Amino acid sequence: MQTLLGKIAIITGASRGIGRAIATRLGRDGAVVILCARDRDALDAAVLEITQGGGKAAAFALDLREADAPARLAEFTVATQGRIDIVVNNAGATKRADFFELTDEDWEDGFALKFFGAVRITRAAWPHLKATGGSVVNIAGVGGRTPGAEFTIGGSVNGAMTTFTKAMADVGIRDGVQVNAINPGAIRTERFQKRLVTIAMENGVGIDAAEQQFAANARVTKIGDPGEIAALVSFIVGPEGRLFHGSLIDMDGGATKTV
């Protein structure tokens, strides 16, 4: 059943990984999906995959670190589709390194895309989401609640994302806009695959063994799949998920040990 039929959804960071999986799932569930990222070729490939599967999709390539880019994305969506019902803020990866090796530019870049990109597209889309009783889902990460020594930028950005989620959820009660966040743990993306290759090389084992070793060391049940995050997004923004509001949902195989 296409639970999102007629909905118009913006997904940032949609050219690969979690974002691409979310766009594919929302498209399969009936939404018209607007995919945003910097890589035009990867976006076009994702759109082709969705449309060949019977979905409706369009791409808008731009860099959300540019101050005016989020507003342009919202304007494009309204101009081509007439409305905005869903915004999924997924764009942004932060540099992982020892704190003393990180520069001011690394910190600025980490916040520029993931945090300020989300803030700006939420602000630009909000009047339209208010008109449609729409939804915002922020893809943050477990580092916001369980920071690590080599994830100081990511933990800080994700912490800011979850605080932003709670604040906008309060505004959403007034304006009729649903706002939530998902904190993925280790997810089988291209980026995570590179980490596994490093682990495999350092320990002289195969990729499968490296993944098992990672899960054991992290004390998690498994490594996640992008499609699992996508399924949760679809449920939250669908008709049966409206009771979710201001929720910070850890989807991490048990990585978050705190209460």
pTM of the model: 0.95
Q: Residue 93 pLDDT > 90, yes or no?
A: no
pLDDT 10s digits, 176-188: 999 999 999 999 9
Residues whose CB falls within 8 Å of the CB of residue 94, separated by 6 or more in sequence, listed in order: 110, 114, 151, 153, 154, 157
Residues 6+ apart with CB under 8 A from 110: 92, 94, 95, 153, 154, 156, 157
Check if the beta carbon of residue 177 is closer than 8 Å to that of residue 134: yes
What's residue 11's pLDDT? 98
pLDDT at 149: 87
pLDDT tens for 36-68 read 999 999 999 999 999 999 999 999 999 999 999
Q: What is the pLDDT of residue 147?
A: 83
Q: What is the pLDDT of residue 214?
A: 93
Contacts of 99-105 with C-beta under 8 Å, sequence gap 24+, read 99/149, 99/150, 99/152, 102/152, 102/153
The pLDDT of residue 255 is above 90: yes
Place of tokens 């929302």: 26
Q: What is the pLDDT of residue 150?
A: 83
Q: Which helix (H) or strand (E) holds 169?
A: helix 152-175
Res 65: pLDDT: 96
Q: With contact defined as beta carbons under 8 Å apart, do 125 and 10 qualify?
A: yes
pLDDT beyond 90 at 129: yes
Residue range 178-236, pLDDT digits in tens: 999 999 999 999 889 988 999 999 999 999 999 999 999 999 999 999 999 999 999 99
Number of helices (H) and strands (E), helices first, in the chain? 8, 7
> Which token pair is 69?
């880019």
Q: pLDDT (tens digit, 9 = 90+) per residue, 135-186?
A: 999 999 999 988 888 889 999 999 999 999 999 999 999 999 999 999 999 9
- Report the C-alpha gap between 142 and 215 in whole angstroms: 15
Residue 148 is predicted with a pLDDT of 86
Residue whose C-alpha is closest to residue 92's, from 150, 153, 178: 153
Using the Cα atoms of residue 95, residue 149, residue 226 and residue 110 in order, give the sign of their dihedral: negative
* Nearest C-alpha neighbor of 3 from the set 21, 30, 34, 32: 30
Cα–Cα dist 121/81, whole Å: 17
pLDDT-derived band of residue 33, with 50, 70 and 90 as boundaries? very high
User: What's the confidence (pLDDT) of residue 240?
Assistant: 97
Domains of the chain: 8-187+224-251 (3.40.50.720)
